[in-house]
Amino acid sequence: MRSLLLVCSLAGVAAAEAPKSAGSATAPTKPVAPVVEKSRVEVQPAGTPFKQLAIENPLGDIKVEGHDGTSIMIETHKRGPDDESMDRLRVSLVPNTDGTVRITTTADKAEGHSVNRNAVGIDLVIRAPRGARVDAIVGNGKLEVLNMDGGGELESASGQITVRNVQGELYTHSVSGRMSLTQVFGSLDASTVSSDLDLDSIQGQKLVASASQGKIAGRRVRSREIELTTTRGNITLEAEASLRGRIYVSSLRGDVDVKLRRAGAVLVRGRGSKVDLGTVAKILPNGWAQVAIGEAQDPAIVELRSQHGFIRFAIVQ
């Protein structure tokens, strides 16, 4: 890909310099502004429509947005301390005959030493056909996917993952990057080690979400099967119970707070040091507190656990 726009500005350059008198102070040297390079390319399918994007960018951000066309448009933003560093930044685009496209970024090593990853960067903004699957990986950059219908798998080390209006089976994983997943229509599996997870307007057959050292907050969730787990973080959930659905929410050391919009009969069980199921509960011999709301042969099942936290449950209108 050839650059279409190159902006290079250097600070601290003077046209002339007056003779310095004895004892005059030396003016501080201004820092050199980074080199910025932007380019754009459009790729048309060669017979087979684009079906899958595999994107790996350890050097910066990735943003993928769906559109109604058949082409893929890639906007690249490169930055570095000097022209020499910029010349070593590479973006590779490999379209395959089966409809898959692989996009990767690299920083070539200079002779005798490697490029300082903190001094260079590449951000990718991609517009792709809505029906394509997106598999993307970032390091500490942001990863954003909008208006896509093919699902995919998104991974990050410490960068934030943002999803909005995505259909299909979706998997998201991060180590310490915060997740914000909104309007996901399909089964969702989201996991993080030490960050928070926000879920809003999730609808599909199954929702599985886990966090070790972070909290989980879910709103307007309508999945038939819901499983939320944390080790030390709190869990809040506002959901709608589906007919013969199952909701399982568990935290080892965090509080569990579930509000349910009832669409039929519900059987609620809670187990922990402090349990409030919103009404007088029956204590079973195995230690579970249980409440039956409504009558049906196959009620929705809600199970809530917290060994060291507080369990709260309520029915809302």
Q: What's the confidence (pLDDT) of residue 12? A: 30
**CA–CA gap between residue 154 and residue 45 (Å, rounded):** 24
Query: pLDDT at position 209, please?
Result: 98
Higher pLDDT, 4 or 84: 84
The yes-or-no verdict on residue 179 having pLDDT over 70 is: yes
The fraction of the chain above a pLDDT of 70, given in percent, is 87
**Cα–chain center distance at 221:** 18
The predicted model gives 209-216 an average pLDDT of 96
Average pLDDT over residues 80-106: 92
- From 200, 207, 127, select the one nearest 170 (Cα to Cα): 207
**Nearest alpha carbon to residue 304 among 280, 269, 266:** 269
Mean pLDDT along residues 75-83: 93
C-beta contacts of 128-131 below 8 A and 24+ residues apart:
128/50, 128/53, 128/64, 128/65, 128/66, 128/67, 128/72, 128/73, 129/49, 129/50, 129/66, 129/67, 129/68, 129/69, 129/70, 129/71, 129/72, 130/66, 130/67, 130/68, 131/49, 131/51
pTM of the model: 0.85
200 against 282, higher pLDDT: 200
Torsion 45-46-49-52 (CA) sign:
negative
Share above pLDDT 90 across residues of the chain, in percent, rounded to a whole number: 72
The whole-number pLDDT of residue 7 equals 29
Burial of 78: CB neighbours in 10 Å, binned 0-12, 13-18, 19+: buried
**Residue closest to 139 by CA, chosen among 175, 170, 167:** 175
Whether residue 123 is predicted with pLDDT greater than 50 in this model: the reply is: yes
pLDDT score, position 116: 64
> 252: which strand partners?
none
Is residue 131 very low, low, confident or very high in pLDDT (cuts 50, 70, 90)? very high
Give mean pLDDT, residues 143-158: 98
Residue 28: pLDDT band with limits 50, 70, 90: low
The pLDDT tens digits of the residues spanning 216-225 come to: 999 999 999 9
Average pLDDT over residues 72-100: 93
DSSP characters for 226-244?
EEEEESSS-EEEEEEPPTT
- Indicate whether 78 pLDDT > 60: yes
pLDDT of amino acid 58: 96
pLDDT range class, residue 115, cuts 50, 70, 90: low
What pLDDT shows up at residue 32? 53
How confident is residue 178, by pLDDT bands cut at 50, 70 and 90? very high
Helix (H, G, I), strand (E, B) or coil at 85: helix
How much is the mean pLDDT over the chain?
Answer: 88
Tokens of 273: 């040091």
DSSP helix/strand/coil, 86: helix
The Cα 93–Cα 315 span in angstroms is 52
Query: What confidence tens digit (pLDDT) does each residue in 273-298 have?
Result: 899 998 888 999 888 999 998 887 88
Mean pLDDT of 109-129: 80
221-260: pLDDT as tens digits: 999 999 999 999 999 999 998 878 999 999 999 999 999 9
